[in-house]
Each structure stands twice: as C-alpha cells, then as structure tokens.
Amino acid sequence: MTRFFLLLICFIPAIGFCQPDRWQQRVKYNMNIDMDVNNNQFKGKQKLEYTNNSPDALNKLFYHLYFNAFQPGSSMDVRSQELGKVAINGRVDWDARVRDRISKLKENEIGYQKIISLKINGVAQPFKYHETILEVNLTKPILPKGKVVIDMEFEAQVPLQVRRSGRDNPTTGVRYSMSQWYPKLCEYDYEGWHPTPYVAREFYGVWGDFDVTINIDKTYKIGGTGVLVNANEIGWGYDTPNSELKPTTKEKRSWHFVGNNVHDFVWTADPEYKHLVRKVGGTTLHVIYNYKENNPKNDSAWIEVADGAAEALPFIESKFGKYPYPQYSFIQGGDGGMEYPMATLLSGPGLGTVFHEWMHSWYQMMLGTNESMYAWMDEGFTSFAEDLIMKYYDKKSSLEGLKEALQKNPNNKNLQDLIPILPEDHSTAYAGYFALAKSGYEEPLTTHADHFNTNYAYSTAAYSKGEVFMEQLGYIIGATVRDKLLLEYYKQWRFKHPNSNDLIQVAEKMSGIKLDWYKEYFCSTTKTINYAIDSLWEEGGVSKIRLRRIGQMPMPVDLQLTFKDGTTEMHYIPLNLMFGEKPNEDPKQKREVHEEWRWTHPTYIVEFKQRLTDIKAVEIDPTKRMADVERKNNLLELKW
C-alpha cells in the first residue's frame, strides 16, 4: 500500500521528487566498556546486529581499528613525516598536531585495539589485521536481507593525544577524548566495501542504533553521543540543570547512553568537567567543558557557546532543515574541532568552530557523504553554512573581517590585492581558493582525501573550494533556487549516503538547468575561470560589447551596464550547456536575456540599443560570486 502510494507521487512531478531508493546497510551496536583510568586501557564487549540490505552475499567483513594508527611506523606516522619534508611558502606541510610525534610514543603511550574473540551467531570467525583495518573472512556468507549477530570482545589502550582521539591533551587538559575508540564496521554501499586505512582523515559509517555503557572511575564525568538513559542515577545536570554528580558507594560508575539513527559514537571523560544545559524547542543542548579555577573568562566563553548555539538553531533550521535528534553536545576535548553524531569535540570555545562542527550534523551526520571521496561536500558545505551563521550571529561578513585584518596590517600585499575582488559573503573561501589555484599545488576535488600530495591542497580544496562551489552554484542557478535546493537535498538524502551526482540531480530538477558540466569542470579538473571585457564599439546604430573567455572553464555571464544617470541594467548570457536560465535575481533591476554562449566559442558579442556614450561602466559578475581568478579585466569604467 505504501509502495503504491509512493509510486503515484513519483509520477506527479508537480507534487515532488522521488525519494531516492538506495539501499543502506544497518547496524545495531550494544557495547559495554570497562575503563581503567590508571593504565588507560579498557576492555570492551560488543554485540553487533548487522543487517545486509544489499543485493549481494557478503563473504567478508571489514572493521576500522583506528587506535592502531598511533604506533611508531604506522601509515599515519610515515605519511606525516613524508609531508614534513614539503614546505609551502615556508610552512612545513605536515599537520602541526601530528608532526613526528607518533614515532616517539612509548609503549604505555601508543594506542591499540586488539580483538580477543569474534563470533557470528556463536561461531568463531577467522580474522586478519591490516594495521587500522581488520579483515574478517566469514565461515558462512551473509545473504541479501540476512541479519547476523556478531559478538566481539576487544581490548584497547588510549593513545597519548596525537590526533582527534586520545588522552591528556595538554591544550585542553581533558583526560579522555574517545573518538574512533571501538572496532567500527566499515561501510558496504553500492560501490562495495570501504576499508579505508586511517592515514589522516576522514570518516564514513553505517547507519544504526548505539547502546553504550561506560564503566569508569566514579570521579569522572562524561559527555557523548546520545541521550543519557540513567540520568536520574547520575545527576550532574543530566537529570535537572545544575544538579550535582550523585554519590555512589561503588568505585566505578556506569554511564548508559543511547543514540539512535547515527553512524558513529563519541564520548569524553574528565573529573573536572563543568556542564551547561540549554533547551531550544525539543532539543537539549549540552556544553561540557574543562573548568579552570583561575580563568573566569573560560566560563563566560563557554556560556556564549551555549547561548549562541541556542540563538542560532532556528536560523540554521530555516536554512538547512530541521535538527532531528533529541540532544546535541558541545564538548571540550580532542585537538581542534571534530564532528561526530549528536556531539562535537572542541579544543576551545571559538564560535566559528562551534557553528562549523555543529553544521556537520547536517553535512555528514545526516547527509552522510563518503568523506574520503567527497570531502568538499561536507567540509565545503559546512564552511558555507558556518559563514552564513556567523554573519547572522555577528551581523558581519567575512569581507569585513578581512578588511579589519588589512587595517591591522596595512602592508599585507596579498590582502591589498585580494580585497577589491572578493564577494561580500564567503570572501575568505574565495581568497583561499584563488591562492590555491595560483599556487601550482591544486589537485581536483575528486582526489581521495588521503591521497592529495599536500595537506595544503587537500584542506583548501575541501574547505574553501567546496564553499565556493556552493556560493557559485547560487550564481549559476540563482541564490533563492540554491537555498531551496539545500532544503530539498536535505529532505531527499538525509540518513543516506549521497554522492556528488545525487546533489547535482536534485539541483538540476530544482533549477531546470543542466549542471553536469559544472561538476565536471569545477570538481574533476583544476581548470580556472577567467572572463574579460575585450572591446566595445557602435555599428549601424547598435552598441556592441565583445566578451572573451580567457580561462578554460566556461560559465554563464552576468554583464551589468551602469549608465551615466545612475541606472543599471543586467545583460544575462546563459551557457549553452545549461539548456536553461536562472531567474532574474534582482527584480528591481531590468534584465535582458541574450542568446546562449556556446562553450566552444572564445568570444561573444552582446548587442544593445543604448548609446555607448551614455554608459559609465560595464562589469562582468558585479556580485563577484563567479570564481574568476583574474577580475581586473571584468570591469571597464568609461570616461567620455
């Protein structure tokens, strides 16, 4: 009945689009952990119910054993040291947090995860370690639609903090940052298994439900993914705001969390933690931070995190879709900002990072792109959102921030050159992308996140070029259509693993514009955009402006004419590959739509009836949203 109803909707385009029916594997974890805070080791029992929704029989399973990266000679260690040999503009390219630190870890400081036993439906399974990946060769295949129960016993040592997870980071003073801490099943999707070794980044997981009990020394306080089920037993603000940790006669306390419909689980623990709680609508926000006796500023900054997050949520939901989980925790821990479902680890209370990590709840935790393949779809879109939220919260654009930076350092040649050519919003991302495009280090966005030649190229591509992708998409299809697209993309793909084609398909349907060319040029190549005003003249009573495509990437062109009387007029030239046009973005301004510009043609002549002598200025893309690497040739001011 339901199926019939859905099919009906699919054939009526006016109502909506088909919910894409891509199968998803399903997990149900039940874990019980016994932590020894003296030797930083823990034993774990994991019962995993795994449902194979794929059409394939599975002969193998793969797990991530992330902690094994924190051992001298590991892939993460060697890769970091290799990148340490590269210097870009005088900066060593390795991650400053990793450097060669792994090579120096002692026996009691390394991380490891060891499997004691692994049984499926009671039968022991043979397995093999590949450093951070465990390969299990099944004694019996898991058939399509089959479900198995996998019982695992494991033990682990928490590494001294090096990257994301670990213990005793001196910057935060937090004892345990427990991300990537359990043997985590790799994802099997329409492309097959994704047993990606842990080298530097990123994460991809199976949707499901987590039920986690952590037994730890009674003085410790915990934050994490999910809802604390035994809040009444624990207290400490989880039952009612500002309540104390409840006394216990036992040496250890059990914290029981449940997180449903997520693809990972994080937790942290420290005896000095302080806990703030805010409620916005049906969502509880937790802010858990390391209280420092002598630093009253510390308190006020974390209070601002709690209040800022509460203030921003309605704005965020209006732009990006509803936050569907019962809680979210901003937890001091880790070594920067790192996102997890229903929680983030933050080394400090910076609001930009706070909003950025929270937005990963949309771009990664709900729209679960494979970060190794499409890092730009989560880091880039998250950065795009972060800029919007910061502007909403601060009422300030990133361009203003750059101008302030120039005021403080007026001799900064780079900023002097850049500021006149940057858009009002997202200007830091454009600046970062332009610098990368000119650096000679750029690699296509389609490069696997761990396989970029440099960290510089990876991070600028994923964060800045990914953000530019989204803002520039607004230039191509119109900003209001792009905004609607973000909500539709959320609606169609949340709790699934969309890829770049899926996003483009939604965008094409929303806009009526073909966009495959945009993805191919901007993501699969490093070709750049450069348009120029070539010449202008009058001929037989008609004014003509010749435009020239100098860059290798074609784009539609907004050409604005400013007349001496102060009025303006937009001349819009769609690209032939679009088979459509964007709506007039500024109804107050007159717009004329011209014939399409064929991508093969390096020049195009715009014709109009007004006299050239009436024109004060001609400008390509006055909103500066097109990532034109050479804007000097976009503006022509006429002095008659």
Rounded to the nearest whole angstrom, what is the least distance from the CB of residue 417 to Zn ion in the complex? 28
- Closer residue to Zn ion in complex, CB, 105/503: 503
Q: Give the interface segment with Zn ion, choosing from 88-96, 299-307, 371-379, 628-636 (CB under 5 A).
A: 371-379
- Closer residue to Zn ion in complex, CB, 340/490: 340
| Alpha-carbon gap, residue 312 to 304, rounded angstroms | 12
Tokens standing for residue 557:
């062109």
- Closer residue to Zn ion in complex, CB, 187/379: 379
- Closer residue to Zn ion in complex, CB, 382/460: 382
Q: What does the per-residue mask of binding to Zn ion show for 324-363, with x meaning CB under 5 A? A: ----------------------------------------
Q: Give the interface segment with Zn ion, choosing from 375-383, 573-581, 588-596, 626-634 (CB under 5 A).
A: 375-383
Q: What distances in angstroms separate CA 536 from CA 551, 564, 569, 605, 618, one per listed residue?
A: 20, 17, 17, 9, 10
Rounded to the nearest whole angstrom, what is the least distance from the CB of residue 364 to Zn ion in the complex? 8
- Closer residue to Zn ion in complex, CB, 386/619: 386
Residues sharing a CB contact under 8 Å with residue 466, sequence separation 6 or more, in sequence order: 375, 376, 377, 379, 380, 381, 383, 384, 445
- Closer residue to Zn ion in complex, CB, 158/445: 445
CA dihedral 467→473→475→479, nearest 10 degrees, is: -90
Rounded to the nearest whole angstrom, what is the least distance from the CB of residue 471 to Zn ion in the complex? 17
Q: Are strands 147-157 and 112-120 parallel, antiparallel or unpaired?
A: antiparallel
Rounded to the nearest whole angstrom, what is the least distance from the CB of residue 408 to Zn ion in the complex? 27
- Closer residue to Zn ion in complex, CB, 465/571: 465
Half-sphere exposure of 446 (CA within 13 A, CB side): 11
Residue carrying the six token digits 């043609």: 601
Rounded to the nearest whole angstrom, what is the least distance from the CB of residue 459 to Zn ion in the complex? 10
Rounded to the nearest whole angstrom, what is the least distance from the CB of residue 94 to Zn ion in the complex? 19
Rounded to the nearest whole angstrom, what is the least distance from the CB of residue 380 to Zn ion in the complex? 9
Q: Give the interface segment with Zn ion, choosing from 152-160, 260-268, 373-381, 581-589 (CB under 5 A).
A: 373-381
Rounded to the nearest whole angstrom, what is the least distance from the CB of residue 463 to Zn ion in the complex? 7
Q: Please give the residues from 44 up to 103 whose contact with Zn ion meets the rule CB under 5 A.
A: none
Tokens standing for residue 29:
């974890």
Rounded to the nearest whole angstrom, what is the least distance from the CB of residue 97 to Zn ion in the complex? 15
Q: Give me the sheet containing 531-539, strands edge to edge.
A: 531-539, 542-549, 603-608
Q: Please give the residues from 377 up to 406 whose contact with Zn ion meets the rule CB under 5 A.
A: 379, 382
- Closer residue to Zn ion in complex, CB, 62/340: 340
**Counting every residue, how long is the chain?**
640
- Closer residue to Zn ion in complex, CB, 71/364: 364
Rounded to the nearest whole angstrom, what is the least distance from the CB of residue 363 to Zn ion in the complex? 8
A 10 A CB-CB count for 88 gives 14
DSSP 286-312: EEEEE--TT-HHHHHHHHHHHHHHHHH
The SS3 of residue 476 is helix
Cis peptide before 404 (omega within 30 of 0): no
- Closer residue to Zn ion in complex, CB, 61/373: 373
Q: Which of 475, 468, 423, 470 is nearest to 583 (CA)?
A: 475
The answer to whether 607 touches 623, Cβ cutoff 8 Å, is no
* Site size for Zn ion (CB under 5 A): 2
Q: Which of 575, 613, 611, 577 is nearest to 594 (CA)?
A: 575
| Interface residue list for Zn ion (CB under 5 A) | 379, 382
